[in-house]
């Protein structure tokens, strides 16, 4: 199943700087305010860029209605729409969807129906600032450029030439 509509929001002046340190997180939603959808039958996803200090709505993807029919063909388009995301929040996900998401490096996160997206974003920011969970720490490690601060870290450790 491919997307029916896909909106990407760009702020060219600051987008590159923000996304250089931000992560992308998706939410399965029908009302764009709460997580109220099963992953496989999700009518739409909203995707936010998030860092410890700010969040930005960056994408929305809408799909044709899909039933809970066990047809796994509909998953490919939904997973493709999440390109670059580190996590997707939904009310439920089948085992096949979980396996396919994890294979793409996307952490599936199950939340109760009606969970407010704003609250989830705030919780994720708090977690980032105060000690990320294992999956978030792995995601943050993946977005950092390789050897980004290697020499700065070595310099901070000091040299012992004795």
Residue 129 counted as domain residue: yes
pLDDT tens for each residue of the chain, 162 residues long:
455 677 676 665 556 677 778 899 999 999 999 999 999 999 999 999 999 999 999 999 998 876 555 555 679 989 999 999 999 999 999 999 999 999 999 999 999 999 999 999 999 999 999 989 999 999 888 877 644 555 565 666 666 665
Q: What is the pLDDT of residue 144?
A: 72
CA distance 115 to 31: 12
| Residue 50: how many other CB atoms lie within 10 Å | 23
Q: Which domain holds residue 72?
A: 3-157
Residue 72 counted as domain residue: yes
CA distance 8 to 41: 22
| Residue 68: how many other CB atoms lie within 10 Å | 10
Residue 23 counted as domain residue: yes
Show the DSSP H helices in the chain as ranges.
Answer: 15-21, 73-81, 95-103, 117-130, 134-143, 150-157
Q: Answer yes or no: are the C-beta atoms of 37 and 91 closer than 8 Å.
A: yes
Q: What is the pLDDT of residue 16?
A: 65
Residue 153 counted as domain residue: yes
Residue 33 counted as domain residue: yes
Domain CATH number, residue 59: 3.30.420.130
Q: Report the number of distinct structural domains present in the chain.
A: 1
CA distances from 86 to 57, 71, 116 (A): 15, 25, 19
Residue 162 counted as domain residue: no
Q: What is the DSSP string of 13-41?
A: TTHHHHHHH-EEEEEE-SSSSEE---TTT
């Amino acid at each position: 199943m491919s997307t029916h509509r896909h909106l990407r929001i760009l702020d060219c002046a600051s987008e590159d700087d923000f996304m250089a340190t931000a992560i992308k997180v998706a939410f399965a939603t029908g009302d764009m305010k709460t997580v109220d959808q099963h992953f496989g039958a999700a009518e739409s996803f909203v995707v936010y860029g998030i860092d410890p200090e700010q969040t930005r709505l960056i994408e929305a993807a809408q799909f044709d209605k899909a039933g809970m029919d066990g047809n796994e063909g509909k998953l490919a388009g939904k997973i493709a729409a999440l390109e670059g995301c580190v996590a997707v929040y939904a009310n439920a996900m089948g085992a096949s969807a979980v396996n396919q998401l994890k294979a793409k490096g996307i952490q599936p996160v199950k939340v109760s129906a009606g969970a407010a997206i704003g609250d989830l974003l705030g919780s994720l920011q708090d977690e980032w600032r105060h000690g990320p969970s294992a999956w978030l720490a792995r995601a943050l490690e993946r977005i950092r450029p390789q050897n980004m601060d290697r020499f700065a870290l070595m310099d901070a450790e000091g040299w012992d030439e004795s």
